A and B are shown apart, each in its own frame.
Chain A
Amino acid sequence: MSEIGQNLRVVEHATCTFCGCVCDDMDLTVDLDAKRITKAKNACTLGRAWFAEHTIEDKPPARIDGKPATTAEAIEAAAQILAGARLPIIYGLSDTTCEAQRQAVAIADLMHGNIDTTTSVCHGPSGIAFQGVGESTATLGEIKNRADLVIYWGGNPAESHPRHFTRYAVTPKGMYIPNGRKDRYVVLADVRRTPSAPVADLFLLVKPGRDFELLWALRALVKGRKIDPSIEETTGIPLATLETLVERMKSCRYGVLFFGMGLTMTRGRHFNSGAILALATDLNEYTHFVAKPVRGHGNVTGADNVVSWQTGYPFGVNFSRGYPRFNPGEFTTVDLLSRGEADAAVIIASDPGSNFPKRAIEHLKRIPVIVLDAKDTDTTELARVAFRTATYGINTTGTVYRMDDVPITLRPAFDSPFPGDEEVLTVLKDRLRELLNEKRGGALRKAA
Chain B
Amino acid sequence: MVETMILIPGRSNKQGTSLNAGKLKHEYREVTSTVEMNQDDMARLCLKDGDAVRLSNTVGEAVVRCKGKKPSDLPSGMLFIAYGPPSSQLMGGDTAGSGMPISKNFEVQVERVDVP
A residues with CB within 8 A of B: 18-19, 45-46, 48-50, 52-54, 116, 120-121, 124-125, 128, 156, 158-160, 162, 191-195, 205, 208-209, 261-262, 264-267, 269-270, 296, 315-316, 328-330, 332-335, 337-339, 351, 354-361, 375-378, 381
Contact = CB atoms under 8 A, between A and B. Distances in A.
Given A193-B72, A358-B93, 15 more contacts: A46-B17, A121-B101, A160-B11, A267-B102, A267-B105, A328-B99, A329-B95, A335-B95, A339-B93, A354-B23, A358-B59, A359-B59, A376-B24, A378-B23, A378-B85
Contacts of A128: 98
A356 B10 CA distance: 13
Interface in B29-59: 59
B78 A208 contact: yes
A235 B75 CA distance: 14
Nearest to A158: B13
B78 A361 contact: no
Interface in B51-78: 59-60, 72-75, 78
Contacts of B20: 18, 46, 49-50, 52-54
A397 B52 CA distance: 45
Contacts of B83: 355
B99 A315 contact: yes
B99 A335 contact: yes
A128 B95 CA distance: 13
A192 B100 CA distance: 22
B95 to A, nearest CB: 6
Categorize the interface residue count of chain B: 35 or more
Contact of A192 (B73, B85, B95, B96): B73
A192 B80 contact: yes
Contact of B101 (A52, A162, A193, A357): A357
Contacts of A159: 11-13, 16
A354 B23 CA distance: 9
Nearest to A194: B73
Nearest to A362: B93
Contacts of B10: 156, 261-262
B116 interface: no
A45 B17 contact: yes
Contacts of B80: 192
Contacts of A19: 16
A330 B96 CA distance: 10
B16 A46 contact: yes
A179 to B, nearest CB: 28
Given A49-B16, A53-B20, A208 B105 contact: yes
Contacts of A50: 20
B12 to A, nearest CB: 5
B97 A328 contact: yes
B22 A124 contact: no
B85 A360 contact: no
A192 B71 CA distance: 10
Contacts of A376: 22-24
B111 to A, nearest CB: 19
